[in-house]
Structure 1
């Protein structure tokens, strides 16, 4: 889930707009324009929004700083979101094209700021709006939108596709939704299917136009290369500071929209060690969530509860609304070790678990071959585990997990024993797996950089007793690198949170607030009563809002 960018204007800012004799309003900044949209929506709903979109004069220079123009991609920047309105700036790179999609009963107003866009409408002729088999047909002719043009997709319309025209190549558009948008219905023409996808932002920005006039001017003596270096350094420092605020925000996921729901869970082991206390966590389908924290914070215990290997002594753990009573085919747990059968080859290790799922010999062989190729182990099909490197063993374990095709993949520090180079390769592979399969992944780690590289949500946990300290969304596009400037800044902020939590802890008596030893067997006997609530904090105050989407590529406007 993504947070709402906080607005930076005051009500008096609307006085900055100018009205000419024709009744049109000129707005000096995007913040003023969005403020007018909010007032119009409160006053007259969608029709009033459309009037402001048509009549308001907004200079492209006020919008361009919020757009990302990347070849072959269309990108979304969320600039405003509350309970009633969402405003997105989209940048259309050369060769980009949105899939055929619709927004399921939400009005959308598009205003073209720069370039040209081509829009085509479609209607469903077989199948419904729910995911599944469907057929569509094109409706009307393709229309071209020019700068300042406003296009209105109503709640009754089915599907549409958008792309920049070949003449301009790139375009920038402003999209206003009558209510926050989390998902869209996307049509796949190759499979004749409709799928519901979670919309993802590429970034979230506050409504502050880049303050060019506040940048320090070099002294008259400074010139040439030194002046340029100083300006670049200052700009990078400012970008790091602003990016961390915009890309690491509190997560808010309702239980109703969650695939996995953890509610008031606590767990005490037989020696009365409090492993978890009052843990609440909701995870949506398709999210990559990292449980991050030091040893003893209960992150592995929580993972074992999700896998069904332990029954918590208090609270509820549900998946798709059903209570988890034990291991199931919808969840697969990867341990710290590859856990391969040493007497079986790579191919046989995959086929063995597929046979347990009831697949025929032909299907087992085909699926094993496909996933061995997927993790780049071609040529090692008939190799025994002791002949493989550590990284190749983990690739085999990952291929086995993917071949089983469980809905939820649970991973308990699987790359902890690998060297730095191999671990980086596994991070790249796992990022690709998640982007292509859209599986729900819960990953346990104590490495801050690893969590930020992989996840779109980082759940920071603290020990004594084991509890959730922060639940944060990471709004950085995938794939990520460990030396990304924004990622380094976020890692520094999370480490500061962990240090602060350590300074606030007070050692309690053994058996009450003692640390959980994560080396303890997950099926140890345990019993106890519910404890007191743990400390839960937030990065910064945000206004309440409907559950927003998560960063990536699927979906459209």
Structure 2
């Protein structure tokens, strides 16, 4: 497999897609070279990323019995599908209404469905629009190799029930090293060697795992590349200076796609809350532009909802009444308000506490109520300013699990502010690392790990270490001087145009202190891809 990928890489650099196609037509790949990368599960198809660079991405897909992909497209990229084992049936479709953007659309079938037997190749050019894939009727399962002309970030999925297209972020079931070979079979000569002791075997396995984590971090934490024309939220050359000369933001550029979960990560004073409030429309930046769906943000709007650091519940209203209050402000009828409140109270697991006042709730239950209220409003963009900062470690873990489930099921665009490295890597599919003096973005990274995630996942430990190094380096490169003073200690920039003065009693964080690991729990099983196109 390694040699085959090296030949693909050389062909890509030498002649692009034409050379790759010629190599696939002339060469062959034995099933045994690919089988160890495939996960075969009945009714599901799984993705394993085996190689990626700027010009090439290679995936192995394992198609379990009766697995099928929805009608989808890959952002106008050159795509090669090669069946290695079993057989696959491919059908082509075209959009007849709507367009290659999320929203209303209709499709129609194009041409006959065709069967790809082992060794057969299917080449899709950027001009071809949508297609679907399923296992053949005879084999019941299949293994395929997919080569793309550049890395895939998103997938356009057509939902026939709603007659709509949705842009989904891709997640992989496994990320392997280029050199990951199948486990070698034992030979008579090898069996004659003395078997290592138990301690030696454990030590070697641990060493191999550490090496795999180092290699995996390179493939799972990659620079995010999002063009402004494909962004739902576009932040361009934004800067903000308070009346007391504090520079909160300087030359901030960020594009966020629809349906992304983005964490703004950095120490206190890096301007992440200022940027969030600019997105909410509560602050007007002194320079630059902030746009949503192409329109400038000039104030709060119904398409955006902001969750603060505390639950911000009305103390004289019960859980249900707090939720119904905001729905009444949106003009819903009493019946609709009651039905929606009950639905989201059940969703956040607060059944039985509907008529409880806030002072009778724990901190976690208050945040669940605030989250249910935000979900009931059903704004497409959810802005969250360190909502779990005041919770204990165990309650925070439960809220992390709940928020991951919310995002996977609703596909809302979420922008989440935190200074905890582990929290950011657990929740987000993009982590924007910010630094103070002045507030700026130093790295924009995409996290390519399947959801749900836990704080004890091995890959997260390696990535957290790498991001802490970035934060430490950015602090050492910070600008000094009176014009670079930043707000510290609080995110309530409530006074109009004035940032809080630094608090002398607050000690400076020591490097590496961000993002302490949360409580240990069993590693969550990665979600299997389903018909909704979450890979």
Of 484, 492, 504, the residue aligned with 2:465 is 492
For residue 378 of structure 1, what is the aligned residue in structure 2?
Answer: 351
1:272 deviation in Å?
1.6
Unaligned runs of 5+ in 1: 1-25, 529-550
Of 263, 278, 292, the residue aligned with 2:251 is 278
Structure 2: how far apart are the matches of 1:411 and 1:218? 58
Is contact 2:33-2:182 (8 Å) kept?
no
CA gap of 1:163–1:520, structure 2 versus 1, over 3 A, is closer
Is contact 1:75-1:92 (8 Å) kept?
no
1:379 deviation in Å?
2.0
Of 30, 37, 43, the residue aligned with 2:5 is 30
Structure 1: how far apart are the matches of 2:431 and 2:149? 30
For residue 421 of structure 2, what is the aligned residue in structure 1?
Answer: 448
Structure 1: how far apart are the matches of 2:74 and 2:196? 53
Q: TM-score, normalised by structure 2?
A: 0.83
Work out whether 1:472 is the aligned partner of 2:445. yes
Please give the per-residue CA displacement for 1:264-315, whole angstroms capped at 9, x wherever unaligned.
2222222222222222211111111111111111111111111111111222
Is contact 1:110-1:150 (8 Å) kept?
yes
1:430 deviation in Å?
0.4
Structure 2: how far apart are the matches of 1:158 and 1:390? 49
1:475-554 to structure 2, matched below 5 A, reads 475-505=448-478, 508-510=480-482, 512-517=483-488, 519=490, 521-526=492-497
Q: CA RMSD in A?
A: 3.3
Is contact 1:31-1:207 (8 Å) kept?
no
1:429-448 to structure 2, matched below 5 A, reads 429-448=402-421
CA gap of 1:556–1:49, structure 2 versus 1, over 3 A, is farther
1:357-368 to structure 2, matched below 5 A, reads 357-368=330-341
Of 167, 170, 192, the residue aligned with 1:197 is 167
1:60 deviation in Å?
3.3
1:15-94 to structure 2, matched below 5 A, reads 28-41=3-16, 45=18, 49-64=20-35, 66-69=37-40, 72-77=44-49, 79-80=51-52, 82=54, 86-94=57-65
Please give the per-residue CA displacement for 1:228-278, whole angstroms capped at 9, x wherever unaligned.
313311221111111111111222222222211222222222222222222
Is contact 2:308-2:384 (8 Å) kept?
yes
Please give the per-residue CA displacement for 1:16-59, whole angstroms capped at 9, x wherever unaligned.
xxxxxxxxxx99422213433554546xx4xx654432221223
1:552 deviation in Å?
8.0
CA gap of 1:226–1:105, structure 2 versus 1, over 3 A, is closer
Structure 1: how far apart are the matches of 2:477 and 2:2? 48
Structure 1: how far apart are the matches of 2:150 and 2:2? 23
For residue 305 of structure 1, what is the aligned residue in structure 2?
Answer: 278
SS in 1 for 2:396: helix
SS in 2 for 1:29: helix
Is contact 2:220-2:446 (8 Å) kept?
yes
For residue 17 of structure 1, what is the aligned residue in structure 2?
Answer: none
Work out whether 1:237 is the aligned partner of 2:207. no
Is contact 1:33-1:58 (8 Å) kept?
no
Of 314, 333, 340, the residue aligned with 2:287 is 314
CA gap of 1:323–1:518, structure 2 versus 1, over 3 A, is farther
1:146-185 to structure 2, matched below 5 A, reads 146-153=117-124, 159-165=130-136, 168-177=139-148, 182-185=153-156
Aligned residues: 498
1:519 deviation in Å?
2.5
CA gap of 1:481–1:96, structure 2 versus 1, over 3 A, is farther
Structure 2: how far apart are the matches of 1:104 and 1:462? 33
Structure 2: how far apart are the matches of 1:127 and 1:494? 41
Between stretches 340-349 and 97-106, larger displacement belongs to 97-106
CA gap of 1:28–1:249, structure 2 versus 1, over 3 A, is closer
For residue 544 of structure 1, what is the aligned residue in structure 2?
Answer: none
SS in 1 for 2:484: coil
Structure 2: how far apart are the matches of 1:257 and 1:78? 27
SS in 2 for 1:109: strand
Is contact 1:29-1:209 (8 Å) kept?
no
Is contact 2:273-2:491 (8 Å) kept?
no
SS in 1 for 2:133: strand
CA gap of 1:395–1:252, structure 2 versus 1, over 3 A, is same
1:92-131 to structure 2, matched below 5 A, reads 92-94=63-65, 96-103=67-74, 108-121=79-92, 131=103
For residue 6 of structure 1, what is the aligned residue in structure 2?
Answer: none
Q: TM-score, normalised by structure 1?
A: 0.80
Please give the per-residue CA displacement for 1:108-134, whole angstroms capped at 9, x wherever unaligned.
431111233233455667776663253
CA gap of 1:105–1:449, structure 2 versus 1, over 3 A, is closer
For residue 537 of structure 1, what is the aligned residue in structure 2?
Answer: none
CA gap of 1:386–1:134, structure 2 versus 1, over 3 A, is same
Structure 1: how far apart are the matches of 2:151 and 2:481? 48
SS in 2 for 1:304: helix
Is contact 2:37-2:48 (8 Å) kept?
no
Please give the per-residue CA displacement for 1:433-467, whole angstroms capped at 9, x wherever unaligned.
11111111010111111000000111111122222
Between stretches 110-119 and 345-354, larger displacement belongs to 110-119
Structure 2: how far apart are the matches of 1:451 and 1:183? 20
Structure 2: how far apart are the matches of 1:419 and 1:27? 46
Greater relative contact order (Cα < 8 A, sep 6+):
1
Structure 2: how far apart are the matches of 1:276 and 1:168? 58
Is contact 1:316-1:323 (8 Å) kept?
yes
CA gap of 1:27–1:431, structure 2 versus 1, over 3 A, is closer
Please give the per-residue CA displacement for 1:196-217, whole angstroms capped at 9, x wherever unaligned.
323514155564454989xxx9
Between stretches 197-206 and 236-245, larger displacement belongs to 197-206
